[in-house]
A = this chain, B = another copy of it.
């Protein structure tokens, strides 16, 4: 765990800080994704994990804003939606999704946020699997912050049909309306977490992080023509991706999605 990474900036007095904030936090992959990017870019900065409970978010955020060398932050569960109310400006995608996953300090000290989860997924699908969502049918399981971002990005990328499944039906319905209302070429509807008839299956729930979690969908219905994505990072492979691989599906894990997203967020932060 404490081996030397060949691509991590040495922390000195002038080092600038970035953070990933979530709860739980130990599973996040962002430090090992972003620190090499920053080091290779010659930026004197590091990204560190911060575990902040939902009830403490406003207090923690007020404190972090008071740190002069704190320049940017990535948000994960459960902060993506509440942070839209704590930053000064939410950019277009963040507004549409109703959630943000990155914010940066502007030169005037104000904080701007946007949502990059979904674009990271699409970029990862294209870069690592050569899978283009254009004209395809997708099942999105989970209509929270990540699920909303993935649904919007898939629609933006030309998905023809989409089923959105969430145990909170109203949440799935709201997202389906946002998608169809904005991307008129995409037929989005709510439905069960059933892979049947879809080209792409994306798990956007945290199910799979804990050993006794149920699968987010019926793996028995997976077919080898399907492409399966799981945003869960650990265990690697997740139970869902292990089942999908056994069925012959091509799969993409959370780390690949993070890498695609990292390119977009790095540009937003002003390096890479």
Please give the residue numbers on chain A whose beta carbons come within 8 Å of chain B beta carbons, in ascending order.
1-15, 17, 20, 23, 25-32, 35, 39, 42-44, 46-53, 56, 59-64, 66-70
Contacts A13-B25, A26-B13, A47-B11 given: A2-B42 contact, CB under 8 Å?
yes
When distances are taken between beta carbons in the complex, the residues of chain B under 8 Å from A43 are 2
Contacts A66-B63, A68-B53 given: A26-B4 contact, CB under 8 Å?
no
Chain B: minimal CB distance from A80 (Å): 17
Chain B: minimal CB distance from A130 (Å): 29
B13 touches A8 (CB 8 A): no
Of chain B, the residue at the smallest CB distance from A20 is B13
- Cα A47 to Cα B5 in complex, Å, equals 16
Copies per assembly: 2
Main secondary structure of the interface of A (DSSP, over half): loop
When distances are taken between beta carbons in the complex, the residues of chain B under 8 Å from A2 are 9-10, 39, 42-44
Among A64, A68, A69, residue most surrounded by chain B Cβ atoms (within 10 Å): A68
Contacts A10-B32, A11-B46, A12-B32 given: A56-B51 contact, CB under 8 Å?
no
The 28 listed contacts between A and B (C-beta, < 8 Å) are: A1-B12, A2-B9, A2-B10, A2-B43, A4-B6, A4-B8, A4-B10, A5-B11, A8-B8, A11-B31, A11-B32, A11-B49, A12-B31, A12-B49, A13-B20, A13-B25, A13-B27, A15-B48, A15-B49, A23-B68, A46-B48, A50-B68, A51-B67, A51-B68, A52-B67, A60-B66, A61-B63, A62-B62
